[in-house]
Structure 1
Amino acid sequence: MSTTKTVDGRSAETSALITVGRRTRRVRRPRRRSSTRFVLAPLTFIAVAVVLFCLFFLWPGALGLWYSFTDYSGVGTPEFIGGENYADLIQDPVFYSVLGRTFLYTLLSVPLHYIAALGIAMLLTSTLAKGKSTARIIFFLPWLISPIVAGVIWKWLFGENFGLVNYLIELIGGQGLRWETDPTLALVLILIVSTWGGTAFNMLLFIAAIRNVPQSYLEAAQIDGASPWQRFRHITLPLLRPTSFMVILLTTIGSMKEFAMVQALNGGGPGTTNMFIVQYIYRTGFERADVGYASAASMVLMVILIIIALIQMRFDKRNDLA
């Protein structure tokens, strides 16, 4: 049987095999390089995130934990004193008062944030609403303002002797309210300002979640004669459960850590009646130069926040299983 020869003396079959082998080698090399590139790129981004997390979160947290067992005052060398700071903290009535006021503020703030954000989101996603683009910008503007600046602005608006609100009340024949010297009114003012400033972000979360609700469900319920309230209660609201959980969790943590706005608004006054836990830590650490004691209070706050987050996650998981 004869074999066809090529110009260089090789058979056609041999030449074809050599050509295929060369092509195979040429194809495999780029695959190895691309696979290596696809592995290195995510690792690089993850490494940057890990370094930043360790530098700005893990290391300060570990340092604060160490300071909580020392008598560090901000200068000099800290001396280890064991659990004395925690023992003094347990016996400090001011700490319990501040912690109770913080819990009260959180219990009042979370529902207000949730209702305001959800209500505005429902209005801005309604097909009957007009000027929604302008309304979104107006409602989102407070989120762009610094909490300190917001506190100063509202302080001028609600000042007892020079505030615009009391001026308008007196202009119509009423008597100006004691926004600064009445503890209850001061707390109400804090709730108003915090709701005004914190609604925008939660509103965006709800708008995105509402747009993902299948319209076929709502149309089928409308055909069956369900009212708008029934459609919202039995269809929209249950489908918003994951977003609601996130909003409640973030608002709870943010309320427990409220500081800048309150500090600029009334400084936790009158006196210390509206001083929250973070303000207590700030005054103890920087004004009294007792960094060790303030670090112990910070560790207690961290444990409380972790417990709250775990309880909420457990509750949400139980609802999902149900």
Structure 2
Amino acid sequence: MKGMLNSKAPYLFIAPTIILLALFSLLPIVIALVISFTNMDLAGLANYSNIKFIGFHNYIDVLKDPLFIKAITNTLFYVIIGVPLVLVLSLSIALLINFGQARIFKVFRVIFYMPSVTNVVAVAVVWSYLYNPSLGLFNYLLGLIHMPAVPWLTNPVMAKISLIILALWRAIGLNMIIFIAAIKGISKSYYEAAQIDGASNWKQMTSITLPMLRHAIFFVSITTMIGWLQFFEEPLIMTKGGPLNGTTSAALFIYNNGFQFSKFGYAAAGSFILFFAIIAITLIQFKFQNKDADI
């Protein structure tokens, strides 16, 4: 009897976590998947008899929707520009802070990290004033050096770039901390041996630091790409997807259809298309990472 209890003890400890995961993560996913195959809207929410199973029509309609195609294009724009910038800047700042000797670099660590823990709504509101075409600080500074005002949030392409700048400012801090922790984990014996051999600082960084950080770089690239594929708060608060739907992301498209137009089935289908896209991109990255590890 005692041996039986001991064998089941691990399952008793993990049972609460499994139950919570099933109730608040797995079950909502299954329900959303079922909804994506129906025409559920406000009428269906009020009376379940109005809900009809329509198969893959929602998925087909979403993929044919010009606004969804534009939202996917905008999202890819965010990913292609934002992810490399986050990786390069956060890694560069982590290297500077870690190898910097002055005490001021410890202060920089806090300064760069603070935006990542600041409320995104408050930050977006403040940056909206900074981007204001007539009263904003950025155009005022440009005017001091006799440069023309920039249509930060009124031009579709410039608005996307403006949102990327804001998101970049917020994302650097957390990834910087991850890189600093990874750098601290590299044994100093590697650097001591390289210094004995006469390797320069640049050679040490390219031959020791960066190769030893490959797992941290991979982790940051995965999490950053997933975050940018789900880009939502900044366009919602600052531009509402405008101008001319130029900043509408895939996540904002799903939000608008689900919570503004009450097309729950349609929005659920869009969310699963985005979900499968994220999984596919993540698996591709894992495959390339495994190939690099084999080499």
After superposition, the C-alpha distances for 1:70-99 in whole angstroms (9 at most, x for unaligned) are 000142322211111112122222211211
After superposition, the C-alpha distances for 1:107-133 in whole angstroms (9 at most, x for unaligned) are 111111101111111112114232233
Larger radius of gyration between Structure 1 and Structure 2: 1
**Alpha carbons of 1:144 and 1:44: their partners in 2 closer, same or farther (altered >3 Å)?**
farther
From 249, 257, 267, the counterpart of 1:284: 257
Q: What is the percentage of aligned positions where both structures have the same residue?
A: 35
In 1, are the aligned partners of 2:160 and 2:246 still within 8 Å (CA)?
A: no
CA distance in 1, matches of 2:288, 2:14: 31
Q: Is the counterpart of residue 50 in structure 1 residue 18 in structure 2?
A: yes
CA distance in 2, matches of 1:55, 1:296: 21
Deviation for aligned residue 1:39: 6.5
Partner of 2:165: 192
Give the root-mean-square deviation of aligned CA atoms.
1.9
Partner of 2:155: 182
After superposition, the C-alpha distances for 1:26-57 in whole angstroms (9 at most, x for unaligned) are xxxxxx69x968973x5444222212211221
Which sits farther off after the overlay, 290-299 or 50-59? 50-59
In 2, are the aligned partners of 1:151 and 1:262 still within 8 Å (CA)?
A: no
In 2, are the aligned partners of 1:205 and 1:243 still within 8 Å (CA)?
A: yes
**Alpha carbons of 1:175 and 1:82: their partners in 2 closer, same or farther (altered >3 Å)?**
same
Number of aligned residue pairs = 289
Partner of 2:35: 67
Q: Which amino acid aligns with 2:228?
A: S
Partner of 1:29: none
Deviation for aligned residue 1:222: 2.2
Unaligned runs of 5+ in 1: 1-31
Partner of 2:183: 210
From 102, 107, 125, the counterpart of 2:80: 107
Q: Is the counterpart of residue 142 in structure 1 residue 115 in structure 2?
A: yes
Deviation for aligned residue 1:314: 1.1
Deviation for aligned residue 1:249: 0.1
Partner of 2:66: 93
Partner of 1:264: 237
**Alpha carbons of 1:147 and 1:37: their partners in 2 closer, same or farther (altered >3 Å)?**
farther
In 1, are the aligned partners of 2:157 and 2:246 still within 8 Å (CA)?
A: no
Equivalent position SS for 2:152: coil
Unaligned runs of 5+ in 2: none
Deviation for aligned residue 1:244: 0.6
Q: Which amino acid aligns with 2:41?
A: S
CA distance in 2, matches of 1:44, 1:284: 42
**Alpha carbons of 1:227 and 1:37: their partners in 2 closer, same or farther (altered >3 Å)?**
same
From 110, 117, 142, the counterpart of 1:169: 142
In 1, are the aligned partners of 2:153 and 2:162 still within 8 Å (CA)?
A: no
Q: Which amino acid aligns with 2:67?
A: V
Q: Which amino acid aligns with 2:70?
A: S
CA distance in 1, matches of 2:148, 2:199: 47
In 1, are the aligned partners of 2:115 and 2:169 still within 8 Å (CA)?
A: yes
Partner of 1:250: 223
From 89, 93, 97, the counterpart of 1:120: 93
Deviation for aligned residue 1:294: 0.6
In 1, are the aligned partners of 2:94 and 2:176 still within 8 Å (CA)?
A: yes
- Structure 1 segments of 4+ aligned residues over 3 angstroms from their partners: 35-40, 42-45
In 2, are the aligned partners of 1:117 and 1:200 still within 8 Å (CA)?
A: yes
Partner of 2:287: 314
Q: Which amino acid aligns with 1:108?
A: I
In 2, are the aligned partners of 1:180 and 1:266 still within 8 Å (CA)?
A: yes
From 107, 126, 129, the counterpart of 1:153: 126
Deviation for aligned residue 1:257: 0.3
In 2, are the aligned partners of 1:150 and 1:261 still within 8 Å (CA)?
A: no
